[in-house]
Structure 1
Amino acid sequence: MSPTARRTRSRVAAALALIAGAAGLLAPPPQWAQAAPPGPAKAEAQWIDRDTVVWKGAERAPARLGFGDQGRSIRLAPGSLTPAERATYPHLKDFPAFLVDPRDQGLARTALRERLVATQRSADGRRATTGVQIPGVLDDLYGTAAAKTALGPVFRDGRPTLSVWAPTARTVALELDGRTVAMRRDDASGVWRVRGERDWAGKPYRYVVTVWAPIVRKTVTNRVTDPYSTALTADSGRSLVVDLADPKLAPKGWTHLKKPTAVPLRKARIQELHIRDFSVEDRTSRHPGQYLAFTESGSDGMRHLKDLARNGTSYVHLLPAFDGGTVPERRADQARPDCDLAALPADSAQQQECVGEVAARDAYNWGYDPLHYTVPEGSYASRPDGTARTLEFRRMVQGLNRTGLRAVMDVVYNHTVADGQDPRSVLDRIVPGYYQRLLDDGSVATSTCCSNTAPEHTMMGKLVVDSVVTWAKEYKVDGFRFDLMGHHPKANILAVRKALDALTPEKDGVDGTSVILYGEGWNFGEAADDARFVQATQKNMAGTGIATFSDRARDAVRGGGPFDADPRVQGFASGLYTDPNPSPANGSPQEQRARLRHYQDLIKVGLTGNLADYTFTDTTGRRVKGSQVDYNGAPAGYAADPGDALAYADAHDNETLYDTLAFKLPRHTTATDRSRMQVVALATAALSQGPALSQAGSDLLRSKSLDRNSFNSGDWFNALHWNCADGNGFGRGLPPAADNKDKWPYAKPLLADPALRPGCAAIIHTAAAYRDLLRIHATEPAFGLPTTARVQSDLSFPLSGRNETPGVITMRVGNLMVVFNATPHPQHQTVDAVAGRPYALHPVQAHGADRITATASYTRQSGTFTVPARTVAVFRHG
């Protein structure tokens, strides 16, 4: 509860009267300033539009919506949902429906600004009551007009207008300059606004919102920052009246920033990194952990990114960089571990304990804790107060673009860091019960980990679109990755696409059609299986030009799944069957062989771009489509076009690729062979059709000391090490207990083994071999086939079938033959169909850094490709 809500009734009443009088409105009745009688704890009735209420558990008998404190009510008669209502609310179709008495429809706007209770008296005289969910009726009454309204600070002729949507508020005022300024309500849209003076620019402000809050069952007065903030004071205490078009906020050259050539999504090669990880331990950076680190062209980190860009990486994907709710933004407030971490044993539990003691107060978090969606995070700025974060974020984008890389933002509109009356709750303290997705009992859904939002509601959907457009237009962001995109309606993501496509260089300074979109299309939670709307999931987004992460090949390459009790379950690139470890979880040799063959089919589907209709011969000898290959009961192939599915072998979630292989490869595997297996795994994504992503540092054998969920594990476990002399992060102690303790028995002996800490030779080899793969991908048109038909005609697996070699995949694509040899032995792959035709090892590999790969050969007479152990070799015809 906010401090304001704890004030005495008389002080609240006086403040409300003052605000209402200043606004030229009638003073509210005294009852508004008094504590209302407690309402029911649950809200099982849902007012879905002006005509209809749905009430789970009610009888099909007359009912009422009581509102206010004077016994007023809206009469409800038993009815049924229309076909349109059933389509809009499929999860409510089996609940009793009630129709609002036409004589009472005019009361809706008044009732929605009061305490609402649904009541019904049964035939035997019992009285049932429940709270009322109101998002549907708010959309019906206000959504059309509100959706057309510009919110937040909007400048015209140097004067700002501040607007906030608060249709259920009794009063809204502006707190600015130590005074309260009246705001006027537009009854058609529910938007409150005030036009300010020129001298408001740069000043801090909050909204003072008096509203019924169901979660505490009383009227409260909240002082809240602007959901449409464009700038903030430190720690998000106040919004700032800022015009993002102010020339003072534009770095030199910003207006005419020249971007790298746009790469279509189907050819994108993406490097995912965290802003703080990138530079916080880079001794060559003058701005460690900050946006400005990306402006330092001579630092080790920027030189590495430049090498990747030169060889074919096209985008850098930044983990969330909007304002978050968990990191203290002032450096003086950021706690640091009070131990000599480097002096502790490699397998000690002391590091994680020491880091954990300050985790809630340190400078580290991944950032999946949204507070203000459209303001850069202040902890990455040189100064968190004021507009430095705006200027420096733009300089970061500029620095990346000048390096040859376009910038993608990871955006998290599916949840907020808090809800209800929590001080970090912004949306829910302005329009309680609207922006968050509510379950049938009125509680907030938390399937995403936190307080879920409801982008299916008009104004939450508008916030998503408006925010993305602001980042694209005002910060020149080149792409967006949607966290848990399956919790968004497909229509919402398509609306984002449409709004971006409308941006033009002439009108907006950016070409919105070149902005790429992709996200996590996972299907789970209360929205699963299109329960509430058509979701933006893997299968539903096929054919939209918006990609979804594909977990199919990822699991086949690594082995098992991210949540296996035994982390030693092997896969294609971790030695399954061909180099088994002793774990009983892998099964018998016969079981391993069968699973490996199926994994190879999953990887083949992945190499096609996860196309549903691509046809090939699987390892059982059957002719199948990608959609007929099984992935845990779901179709492996779900894409309609190349570019619908994004390939990856590792990302920030789950163990890094190096750590996964540390668990799964036999302990005796040498550093050289670990490096080679890392390259094999990375190649399955790098040489696929469609976009591919790799976690920053995977080409340097990056480790997080076996931490599977390092979102709050601090710099010690997360920092990138660009200089191989600093190691790769392995052996920094047992990972934090909260998410890893069940794996400590497996992790402890590995971390204690010095042989698992790679030296410079292995790290340098991996980086060079990966760059060779990127260069081949970037220079060979066969890796960017534009249609399913072209993939079907130009890509095949000539040795796929019952006799395919376990641990080896041979792929023909265009004039190339690619052999993925994940086995510990050299392999000879004879393709009868090419016997007599001239092939040679691709010149990039023939003259590349990996001299073992350079020994790969081709015998023309027999059509035999010979590939060294643990090697991916690309041969070119002609």
Structure 2
Amino acid sequence: MSSTTRRSRRRPAAVLALALGATALLVSPLPQPAAAAPSGQEQALAQWIDRDTVVWKGAEHAPALLEFGSHGAHLRLVPGSLSPSERLAYPHLTHYPAFTVDPRDRGLTRTALRDALHATQRTADGRRTTTGVQIPGVLDDLYGARAQHAALGPVFSRDGRPTLAVWAPTARTVALELDGRTVPMRRDDTSGVWRVRGARDWAGKPYRYRVTVWAPSVGKTVTNDVTDPYSTALTADSARSLVVDLADPQLAPAGWTQLHKPAAVPLRRARIQELHIRDFSVEDRTSRHPGQYLAFTDPRSDGMRHLRSLARAGTSYVHLLPAFDSATVPEKRADQARPDCDLASYAPDSDRQQDCITKTAARDAYNWGYDPLHYTVPEGSYASDPDGPARTVEFRRMVQGLNGAGLRTVMDVVYNHTAASGQDPHSVLDRIVPGYYQRLMDDGSVATSTCCSGTATEHTMMGKLVVDSVVTWAKEYKVDGFRFDLMGHQPKANILAVRKALDALTPAKDGVDGKSVILYGEGWNFGEAANDARFVQATQQNMAGTGVATFSDRARDAVRGGGPFDADPRVQGFASGLYTDPNSSPANGSPAEQRTRLLHYQDLLKVGLTGNLADYTFTDSTGHQVKGSGVDYNGAPAGYAAAPGDALAYADAHDNETLYDALAYKLPQRTAAADRSRMQVLALATAALSQGPALSQAGSDLLRSKSLDRNSFDSGDWFNALHWNCADGNGFGRGLPPAADNKDKWPYARPLLADPALRPECAAIHQTSAAYRDLLRIHATEPAFGLPTTAAVQKALSFPLSGRDETPGVLTMRLDNLVIVFNATPQRAQQTVQALAGDPYALHPLQAHGTDRTTATASYARSSGTFTVPARTVAVFRRG
């Protein structure tokens, strides 16, 4: 992979579509791109899975050897078979020839693993075949039981003396570089851990490990100077680790030990605002710390004022896009490139903005940060000083600032891949234990289905790193939740181990209540792990019932229309005018086809509103009684959750176009600004008023646009920054989005970006935000939105007008003492629920007296049980 691709969020288009949920669960694995073998790397078709067993793809079932060293040393292999437990542990290897290590040679195993290792065999025709050997399984078997309980990284004793420890079982030697000298380390042969105990004056000093090890990626023994995977602090640009104790009182901002947090909110009631740290403040003229952690300590900034208003309305969490140390952004401000163009001078549909930004994108201060370098250290580019532990203090102050605003904090974590592997300078794990931490394909190449060098969280020590890292963030930084990127590439068992470790944290012992920490992630099913090929994955269906939520793409696609990677972005959905307000795109099909698809979308929305429950039973739009699991979503069950809280609802997130931009493509171009605002609120309402947790992208309530950019991971501040002051616009019309990911849509984008009517004025922005906050308040104050079980939802929630005669574009839901009508049509809608005739319903007071005077005109006729709702409106009625 090129340096640009390796350091980006970019993925192959077909795989990316699946990763982000354009299709839900695959029925068979996709062909996966394998990482190109670096120069000098041979294939590794043999896999040493435990101390007794080797599996060799393509070998003959005849005697073979494991050769190591340069003097003909070897272990003999005899034909064998996999045991039932081995077949269970390695399902993807069950069809390959298996061999047993000769018992007479097993004493050489540990020595062989610290040397160049090859499998060889004489074939029946006399040829000699040779291949490399994958060793993660045997390393786990030999060392895992002891190593998984080892304390790694810098650990301080009560007398202030640090012990530094690193797991490197295959290394020939490991030494510590500190103070310009090399300090020997001692190896524990039972765990493979190397340790050295230091003096108290080591505190605060930079260090690296010097590891001499066989590196299959280059086919030779190397000596690597490498930072600590368990680093607690770093110098600028991650050049050195620092010997830092996170419990040092000097790293605790005032009030840290007595930090008062907002009350914990159960995951099923969580309303989450997804936010990128730099986006939040970099263009906020009222912030004293633009683009930094400390921007969240500016209580009078426009951004913090807005977050507080959302918190008062019912938002409970801020989800921060990756804030751990990443490989992408130069951390010193002097090294960060800036566009040298007058971007504001170009036309709104010009290609010059993106061209200028692209020239500096690889060296500027912007990236989403999905390219991990050190998993458990805050990213330095957001700190006032990246060189040292200031980033620790300022990250903690950020958490304080958010907590003080009434918001708990979620971290976006990316344990499914690393920024690089092999001998790349941005490879940390693979330069310490080559071939262990990365997931390898059957030929020994590194899996890249996630866009980058995949990690093998199924291996003991990579799984341990995940658990230890999450616990550190929760305990030492008081993070309240974690969102796992591409969680389906991790074993379910590993995520549940995280849950168990968090649950063990108590306020008395650890200063935090680990049971209140929420977990959710992307449960997409694709790549080399798809369909549980290697282990039981943490996918949507597999995680049901665990208390760990997964993003649900079902209602997202239904409300927006189509999928994220449609060739024609004008494919419409429930909230974008399908059938009821069609645009000119032939991709939408005939009116009859549109009507059929719209009604099916309404069934998907019904399932979504229940919390994506698999066993919830209702009447679908064809008039049949179905369960949520019986509704089709691209060949997969729409409903997969066992309880509310298993599925997370959303209408937009950082991936793909913002909701405003998607509606810009999909709504007829003539749609008035006020109507675009109303459709934005309607779309957001399908998540905000659902059972279970819901997430929205920061700024969506302000009609946020990224000028139609569908993948803004490296598009800079110009396209990404949030605009809290409506006088600065919403981001629409800042030029054609970067060509690399958007050029195929430029023909559709140009006329939209050039249309001044699509750049909303303050009135529309204020109206949208106020209406959205009203919905949040309704959700927060009505207990019926927090039902705990499928049975409770089945009893309290229904769709009384669902069936063959339901109105296309209108969805009516009854929830305990509420009736909610989603009218996505451009006409006023009447919905008569005869069973409610005579019941005393009225528009919810928060809408009747809210800022949206159009919604306030919604009415109820008691005599007939008829609810009348204005066009493009969601109205909530409450029984008085």
- Which category of TM-score, normalised to the shorter sequence, fits these structures? over 0.9
User: In structure 1, what is the Cα distance between the partners aligned to 2:388 and 2:530?
Assistant: 41
Residues 464, 496 of structure 1: 8 Å contact kept = yes
Matched, 1:686 2:667: no
> Equivalent residue of 1:222, what SS?
strand
Correspondences of 1:330-341 after superposition (within 5 Å): 330-341=332-343
**1:555 aligns to what?**
557
Q: AA paired with 1:238? A: R
**2:573 aligns to what?**
571
Deviation at 1:182, TM superposition (A): 0.5
Matched, 1:138 2:139: yes
User: In structure 2, what is the Cα distance between the partners aligned to 1:438 and 1:124?
Assistant: 30
**1:208 aligns to what?**
210
Correspondences of 1:227-626 after superposition (within 5 Å): 227-626=229-628
Residues 40, 117 of structure 1: 8 Å contact kept = no
> Equivalent residue of 1:579, what SS?
coil
Deviation at 1:124, TM superposition (A): 1.3
**1:55 aligns to what?**
56
> Equivalent residue of 2:65, what SS?
strand
> Equivalent residue of 2:542, what SS?
helix
Deviation at 1:123, TM superposition (A): 1.6
User: In structure 1, what is the Cα distance between the partners aligned to 2:472 and 2:71?
Assistant: 45
**1:864 aligns to what?**
866
> Equivalent residue of 1:359, what SS?
helix
> Equivalent residue of 2:714, what SS?
coil
Correspondences of 1:827-846 after superposition (within 5 Å): 827-846=829-848
User: In structure 2, what is the Cα distance between the partners aligned to 1:158 and 1:105?
Assistant: 42
**1:10 aligns to what?**
none
- Alignment TM-score, normalising by the size of structure 1: 0.96
Deviation at 1:206, TM superposition (A): 0.1
**1:641 aligns to what?**
643
Report Cα offsets for 1:367-394 as digits up to 9, x if no partner.
0000000000000000000110000000
**1:82 aligns to what?**
83
**2:43 aligns to what?**
42
Deviation at 1:366, TM superposition (A): 0.1
Q: AA paired with 2:102? A: D
Report Cα offsets for 1:767-792 as digits up to 9, x if no partner.
00000000000000000001100000
Report Cα offsets for 1:223-260 as digits up to 9, x if no partner.
00000000000000000000000000000000010100
Residues 41, 218 of structure 2: 8 Å contact kept = no
> Equivalent residue of 2:362, what SS?
coil
User: In structure 2, what is the Cα distance between the partners aligned to 1:601 and 1:491?
Assistant: 33
Residues 655, 706 of structure 1: 8 Å contact kept = yes
**1:8 aligns to what?**
none
Q: AA paired with 1:862? A: S
> Equivalent residue of 2:846, what SS?
helix
**1:93 aligns to what?**
94
Report Cα offsets for 1:297-356 as digits up to 9, x if no partner.
100000000000000000000000000001000000000000000010000000000000
Residues 732, 759 of structure 2: 8 Å contact kept = yes
Q: AA paired with 1:81? A: L
Task: From 687, 691, 701, give the equivalent of 1:699.
Answer: 701
**1:30 aligns to what?**
none
Deviation at 1:874, TM superposition (A): 0.2
Residues 650, 695 of structure 2: 8 Å contact kept = yes
User: In structure 2, what is the Cα distance between the partners aligned to 1:39 and 1:785?
Assistant: 58
**1:160 aligns to what?**
162
Residues 574, 602 of structure 2: 8 Å contact kept = yes
Matched, 1:64 2:60: no
User: In structure 1, what is the Cα distance between the partners aligned to 2:194 and 2:325?
Assistant: 24
User: In structure 2, what is the Cα distance between the partners aligned to 1:344 and 1:452?
Assistant: 40
User: In structure 2, what is the Cα distance between the partners aligned to 1:522 and 1:248?
Assistant: 42
Report Cα offsets for 1:111-151 as digits up to 9, x if no partner.
00000000000121011110000000000000000001000
> Equivalent residue of 1:755, what SS?
helix
User: In structure 2, what is the Cα distance between the partners aligned to 1:476 and 1:89?
Assistant: 37
User: In structure 2, what is the Cα distance between the partners aligned to 1:104 and 1:347?
Assistant: 71
User: In structure 1, what is the Cα distance between the partners aligned to 2:658 and 2:149?
Assistant: 45
Matched, 1:180 2:182: yes
**2:21 aligns to what?**
none
User: In structure 1, what is the Cα distance between the partners aligned to 2:167 and 2:109?
Assistant: 17
Deviation at 1:39, TM superposition (A): 8.0
Report Cα offsets for 1:539-598 as digits up to 9, x if no partner.
000000000000000000000000000000000000000000000000000000000000
Q: AA paired with 1:136? A: G
Deviation at 1:41, TM superposition (A): 0.7
> Equivalent residue of 2:493, what SS?
helix
Correspondences of 1:747-766 after superposition (within 5 Å): 747-766=749-768
**1:793 aligns to what?**
795
Aligned structure 1 segments of 4 or more residues deviating by more than 2 angstroms: none
Residues 365, 714 of structure 1: 8 Å contact kept = yes
User: In structure 1, what is the Cα distance between the partners aligned to 2:124 and 2:748?
Assistant: 64
> Equivalent residue of 1:316, what SS?
strand
**1:728 aligns to what?**
730
Residues 269, 314 of structure 1: 8 Å contact kept = yes
For structure 2, list consecutive stretches of 5 or more residues without a partner in the other structure. 1-38
Higher relative contact order, structure no. (Cα contacts within 8 Å, ≥ 6 residues apart): 2
User: In structure 2, what is the Cα distance between the partners aligned to 1:109 and 1:142?
Assistant: 10
User: In structure 2, what is the Cα distance between the partners aligned to 1:847 and 1:514?
Assistant: 35
Root-mean-square deviation (CA, aligned residues, Å) is: 0.6
User: In structure 1, what is the Cα distance between the partners aligned to 2:630 and 2:413?
Assistant: 33
> Equivalent residue of 1:360, what SS?
helix
How many correspondences in the alignment?
Answer: 841
User: In structure 2, what is the Cα distance between the partners aligned to 1:736 and 1:700?
Assistant: 23
User: In structure 1, what is the Cα distance between the partners aligned to 2:123 and 2:312?
Assistant: 74
User: In structure 1, what is the Cα distance between the partners aligned to 2:95 and 2:273?
Assistant: 47
User: In structure 1, what is the Cα distance between the partners aligned to 2:203 and 2:710?
Assistant: 45
User: In structure 2, what is the Cα distance between the partners aligned to 1:471 and 1:837?
Assistant: 51
User: In structure 2, what is the Cα distance between the partners aligned to 1:486 and 1:640?
Assistant: 18
User: In structure 1, what is the Cα distance between the partners aligned to 2:71 and 2:400?
Assistant: 60
Report Cα offsets for 1:773-822 as digits up to 9, x if no partner.
00000000000001100000000000000000000000000100000000
Q: AA paired with 2:82? A: L
User: In structure 2, what is the Cα distance between the partners aligned to 1:299 and 1:40?
Assistant: 54
Residues 209, 224 of structure 1: 8 Å contact kept = yes
Report Cα offsets for 1:693-732 as digits up to 9, x if no partner.
0000000000000000000000000000000000000000
Q: AA paired with 2:104? A: R
> Equivalent residue of 1:538, what SS?
coil
Report Cα offsets for 1:153-179 as digits up to 9, x if no partner.
000020000000000000000000000
**1:20 aligns to what?**
none
> Equivalent residue of 2:541, what SS?
helix
Residues 162, 200 of structure 2: 8 Å contact kept = yes
User: In structure 2, what is the Cα distance between the partners aligned to 1:354 and 1:40?
Assistant: 38
Deviation at 1:40, TM superposition (A): 6.6
> Equivalent residue of 1:206, what SS?
strand
Residues 651, 659 of structure 2: 8 Å contact kept = yes
> Equivalent residue of 1:540, what SS?
coil
**2:117 aligns to what?**
116
- Alignment TM-score, normalising by the size of structure 2: 0.95
Residues 172, 207 of structure 1: 8 Å contact kept = yes
Residues 40, 130 of structure 1: 8 Å contact kept = no
Compared with structure 1, are the counterparts of its residues 217 and 744 closer, same or farther at alpha carbon in structure 2 (3 Å cutoff)? same
For structure 1, list consecutive stretches of 5 or more residues without a partner in the other structure. 1-37
> Equivalent residue of 1:399, what SS?
helix
